């Protein structure tokens, strides 16, 4: 059956293939724990203990919930935890977690809406399509039985600083996957309420899935797994999520940046890479100055060219003689194809006419940049097929950019 997959594993591949390789193929250990992840873990642990008591018909007071959070935080907190947003502090994150728990308690007391089935439950299940079968694992924060509505509820606690929209909830695949696992134990779970608790906002988002939608989710995840298993290239992808990545120190996009950012100014300036960038940047500035001068010269040339054309038309000549060179003036009409940007109607009309007359293929071309961009979304079977017709070319260049 091969690898065991999870939501975080599939999500890692979607976000950055190199991160996926570092973590799940090379099995590099996680290097960094961020304050956001730490706070989320401590809030989850606190709620898990709290609901374990509720499961046994014991509702602890709010003071117990908050004091337990304090104990868990103090026991596990260390200065090695990374704070990405420098304008914030560990104390501030601690307070946000505490306030969210207090608001949650006030919102749901006396905690008799449902019956608690399981908390912090690890589930293993198989995704199946035809003869394919893939092992999946997940952790459910809480499973409830709603005795009034006669349905299961899957609850998920979120300490994210951003709030999910209803549309995002209706297209999310994490909780529907867990619903599929639940159905393997209780078939009646085909009707299940999916609930996300965004604790920092004191807001609950709900959704549900039909049988057909659950089948579509299963097919989607199987396709993602097939893409992962067929993948042979793992390029890095830069995004806002990089600051929370465990592997910046070894990632080719960040390795040198992280290496030199801790150096003193004198040592920083002597670094070989820093010196190369400084030299390249200096030459780029000179190029910029020369380009500005060239632009001025070209503007002067354009004025002279206009005057030369007028002179040639007036004198009815095609060659203008000079001290050591001549100007050859050419005046003729030439048909050019309209661009889509300049004239949409003419561009479409020309294209349709060429297609109707079977001449379009003679003037069309394959654009490499467009091809590379489109292949990222094409089916793997098509990509594998056309790769035999492509020529691998190594692009070697450097680009200067402003330092973030």
CATH number at residue 175: 3.90.320
**Which of 156-160, 229-233, 388-392 comes out lowest in average pLDDT?**
388-392
Distance CA 100, CA 92 (A): 12
Kindly state whether residue 272 falls inside one of the protein's structural domains: no
Does residue 380 contact residue 227 with C-beta atoms inside 8 Å? yes
Share of the chain above pLDDT 70, in %: 99
Kindly state whether residue 349 falls inside one of the protein's structural domains: no
pLDDT digit string, tens, across residues 94-116: 999 999 999 999 999 999 999 99
**CA neighbours closer than 13 Å in the CB half-sphere of residue 26:** 13
Average pLDDT, the chain: 91
The whole-number pLDDT of residue 97 equals: 95
Tell me: pLDDT of 27 over 60.
yes
Total domain count, the chain: 1
Q: Please, what is the angle between helix 35-55 and helix 62-76, to 10°?
A: 140
Length of the chain (residues): 404
Mean pLDDT of 248-254: 93
C-alpha torsion 74→77→83→85, nearest 10: -20
Distance CA 311, CA 331 (A): 12
Kindly state whether residue 135 falls inside one of the protein's structural domains: yes
Joined tokens for residue 128: 């199946």
CA 383, distance to chain mean position in Å, is 22
pLDDT digit string, tens, across residues 129-174: 777 888 998 899 999 999 999 999 999 999 999 999 999 999 999 9
Beta bridge partners of 204: 197
Kindly state whether residue 320 falls inside one of the protein's structural domains: no
CA 78, distance to chain mean position in Å, is 29
The whole-number pLDDT of residue 269 equals: 93
The whole-number pLDDT of residue 44 equals: 96
- The three-class DSSP label of residue 336 is coil
Q: pTM score, two decimals?
A: 0.74
Count of C-beta atoms within a 10 Å radius of residue 74: 10
**Which of 92-101, 189-198, 360-369 comes out lowest in average pLDDT?**
360-369
Tell me: pLDDT of 1 over 70.
no
Mean pLDDT of 290-294: 96
Ranges of beta strands (E only) in 164-240 are 192-198, 203-207
The whole-number pLDDT of residue 214 equals: 93
Kindly state whether residue 278 falls inside one of the protein's structural domains: no
Kindly state whether residue 362 falls inside one of the protein's structural domains: no
Tell me: pLDDT of 178 over 80.
yes
Q: Which residues contact 7 (CB under 8 A, 6 or more apart)?
A: 138, 173, 174, 177
The whole-number pLDDT of residue 404 equals: 64
The whole-number pLDDT of residue 86 equals: 80
Nearest alpha carbon to residue 108 among 208, 195, 40, 168: 195
Tell me: pLDDT of 341 over 70.
yes
pLDDT bucket at 127, cuts 50 / 70 / 90: confident
Distance CA 58, CA 19 (A): 43
Its domain, for residue 120, covers 4-242
- DSSP labels, 222-279: HHHHHHHHH---------GGGGG-TTTTT-TTTHHHHHHTTS-HHHHHH-HHHHHHHH
Nearest alpha carbon to residue 318 among 328, 303, 310: 328
Mean pLDDT of 194-202: 97
The whole-number pLDDT of residue 322 equals: 92
Does residue 86 contact residue 243 with C-beta atoms inside 8 Å? no
Distance CA 127, CA 330 (A): 70
CA angle 385/386/389 to nearest 5° reads 120
Distance CA 198, CA 104 (A): 10
Kindly state whether residue 238 falls inside one of the protein's structural domains: yes
Distance CA 71, CA 101 (A): 14
**CA neighbours closer than 13 Å in the CB half-sphere of residue 259:** 12
Phi, psi of 246 (to 5 degrees): -80, -10
Kindly state whether residue 404 falls inside one of the protein's structural domains: no
- The three-class DSSP label of residue 132 is strand
Count of C-beta atoms within a 10 Å radius of residue 192: 24
């Amino acid at each position: 059956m091969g690898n065991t997959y999870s939501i975080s594993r599939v999500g890692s591949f979607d976000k950055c293939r190199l991160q996926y390789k570092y973590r799940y193929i090379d099995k590099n250990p996680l290097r960094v724990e961020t304050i956001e992840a730490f706070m989320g873990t401590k809030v989850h642990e606190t709620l898990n203990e709290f609901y374990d008591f509720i499961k046994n018909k014991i509702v602890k007071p709010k003071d117990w919930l908050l004091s337990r959070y304090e104990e868990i935080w103090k026991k596990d907190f260390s200065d090695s935890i990374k704070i990405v947003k420098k304008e914030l502090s560990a104390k501030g994150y601690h307070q946000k977690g505490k306030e969210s728990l207090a608001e949650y308690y006030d919102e749901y007391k006396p905690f008799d809406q449902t019956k608690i089935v399981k908390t912090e439950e690890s589930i293993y299940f198989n995704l199946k399509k035809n003869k394919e079968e893939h092992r999946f694992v997940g952790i459910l924060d809480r499973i409830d039985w709603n005795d009034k509505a006669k349905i299961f509820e899957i609850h998920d606690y979120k300490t994210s600083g951003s709030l999910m929209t209803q549309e995002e909830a209706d297209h999310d695949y994490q909780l529907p996957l867990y619903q599929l696992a639940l159905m393997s134990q209780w078939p009646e779970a085909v009707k299940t309420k999916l609930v996300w608790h965004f604790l920092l906002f004191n807001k609950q988002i709900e959704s549900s899935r039909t049988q057909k939608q659950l089948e579509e989710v299963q097919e989607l995840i199987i396709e993602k797994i097939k893409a992962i298993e067929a993948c042979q290239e793992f390029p890095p992808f830069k995004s806002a999520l990089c600051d929370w990545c465990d592997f910046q120190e070894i990632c080719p996009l960040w390795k040198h940046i992280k290496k030199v950012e801790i150096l003193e100014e004198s040592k920083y300036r002597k670094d070989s890479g820093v010196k190369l960038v400084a030299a390249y940047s200096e030459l780029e500035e000179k190029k910029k100055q020369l380009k500005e001068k060239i632009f001025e010269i070209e503007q002067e040339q354009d004025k002279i060219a206009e005057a030369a054309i007028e002179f040639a038309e007036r004198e009815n000549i095609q060659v203008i003689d000079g001290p050591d060179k001549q100007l050859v003036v050419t005046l003729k009409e030439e048909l050019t194809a309209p661009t889509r940007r300049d004239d949409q109607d003419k561009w479409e009309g020309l294209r349709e006419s060429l297609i109707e007359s079977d001449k379009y293929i003679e003037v069309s071309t394959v654009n490499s940049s467009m091809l590379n961009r489109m292949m990222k979304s094409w089916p793997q079977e098509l990509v594998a097929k056309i790769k035999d017709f492509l020529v691998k070319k190594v692009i070697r260049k450097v680009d200067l950019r402003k330092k973030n």
